[in-house]
Structure 1
Amino acid sequence: MSDLALIMALPNESKGLFEAEGIQVNYSGIGKVNAAFKAFEVIQKTGCNTLLNLGTAGSSHFNAHDLVEVTQFVQRDMDVSPLGFEVGVTPVDTDYPAAIHLDEYFEHLPKGICGTGDNFEVGIPKVPCNLVDMEGYALAKVCKRLGVRLISVKYITDGADDAAHLDWEENLLFGAKKLLELYQLIK
């Protein structure tokens, strides 16, 4: 894939392994606003046809250390339910539904629905999903609007529970190694 750009949230998620292999990584920073801005910037700058998002996620469904391909993103923190909207639905956003679907790329990976929110989830999300992150929905929305394919694979670092922050830190290097191995399958 020569028209591919790689985006990750934080240098912690790559641990410098990608750069050591000469792979350019675009880091968005944490959260939906930073992710949307960086995705737009990368797409405009590179002219890529595919944006590859590799990163970490929590899950009480998948096992720690699993790689999961995301086939759908939802917003777990969009809550305008007091006005009669379902949780996850952005009012008057008729261009895109609450769920953004992605085409599958990796046949060998389990598939998941990722709930994105601007908080580090340590409980059960209000929307149906089986893994959680903080950037994916924004990346998906920018890609859909600009006609760019998004492929997203998450390394499960934690159980999205009370120990999530400790498990996330502890598992970052393991995740970076597995994500690099996966990336090398693409190239």
Structure 2
Amino acid sequence: MGNSLDLSVYLNDPLFVFALASEEAEQFIQYNPLIVGVGKVNAAIGLSKYLHQHRPGIIINLGSAGSSRFARGEVVCCNRFIQRDMDVRGLGFQLYETPFSDHGPLLEYGLSIEALPQGICGTGDSFEMQHLTEDYDVVDMEAYPLAYIAKQENIPFLCLKYITDGADETAGADWTEEVHKAAMVFRKLFGVATVTPQ
């Protein structure tokens, strides 16, 4: 996949963010990873509390996700995000648009890895088992608030998702089987990939 990922290009103090310890599996322990917990609220609180005391050179979100487009075992780079459970169309707003905010439904922020497929991450507080829309092609529960906070704080952001399931009726069983593989894949990837600005 090209040259090694040289984190020093962007920082000398990376913050690796995971939702669950099982996604990190002590593969990034030397970086003192931040485990925020499941869902948008936990992700926002966890990262905000950390940033209150520290300012990393880059925020790197690694985690599991579902997808009806990408295959299980693929790593997808996301720098476009949708809050998939935001729906205030009844008041005249667009689907996924946060009312009275200064940005549209699609949040665009982050770095890309050229050798990896690029995806649009739909973040919401539900475990998706009937993914039918084409508005986003990666489904998770934490990335949107992490990307939003990183953008607001003007901190470089990288989001990589390991696809564990098809966001379909077998997603629960597939996630349970695949999630433990994510950390090793990420660890290997960081030895071979090249990061380029979006």
Q: TM-score, normalised by structure 2?
A: 0.86
Shift of 1:47: 1.2
Structure 1 counterpart of 2:21, from 11, 34, 50: 11
Counterpart AA for 1:175: A
Q: Which runs of 5+ in 2 are unaligned?
A: 1-6, 194-198
RMSD: 1.8
Counterpart AA for 2:80: Q
Native 8 Å contact 2:14 2:31 kept in 1: no
- In 2, distance between residues paired with 1:134 and 1:58? 10
2:143 counterpart of 1:136: yes
Structure 1 counterpart of 2:120, from 113, 118, 123: 113
- In 1, distance between residues paired with 2:149 and 2:31? 23
Structure 2 counterpart of 1:45, from 20, 34, 53: 53
Native 8 Å contact 1:76 1:126 kept in 2: no
Counterpart AA for 1:84: G
2:74 counterpart of 1:66: yes
Shift of 1:17: 2.8
2:38 counterpart of 1:30: yes
Equivalent residue number for residue 106 of structure 2: 99
Native 8 Å contact 1:55 1:154 kept in 2: yes
Equivalent residue number for residue 55 of structure 1: 63
- In 1, distance between residues paired with 2:37 and 2:68? 24
Counterpart AA for 2:35: Y
SS at match of 1:123: coil
**Deviating 4+ runs (over 4 angstroms):** none
- In 2, distance between residues paired with 1:25 and 1:104? 19
SS at match of 1:17: coil
Counterpart AA for 1:82: G
Counterpart AA for 2:160: V
Equivalent residue number for residue 172 of structure 1: 179
Q: Which runs of 5+ in 1 are unaligned?
A: none
2:85 counterpart of 1:80: no
- In 1, distance between residues paired with 2:151 and 2:125? 20
- In 2, distance between residues paired with 1:104 and 1:149? 7
- In 2, distance between residues paired with 1:46 and 1:83? 39
- How many residues are aligned here? 184
**Which deviations, in whole Å up to 9, do the C-alpha atoms of 1:24-68 show, x marking residues without a partner?**
210010111111111222233331131000001000000000000
- In 2, distance between residues paired with 1:11 and 1:122? 23
Cα distance change on mapping 1:76 and 1:98 into 2, 3 Å: same
- In 1, distance between residues paired with 2:110 and 2:21? 27
Shift of 1:125: 5.5
Cα distance change on mapping 1:92 and 1:49 into 2, 3 Å: same
Shift of 1:92: 0.3
> Percentage identity across aligned positions?
37
Counterpart AA for 2:87: D
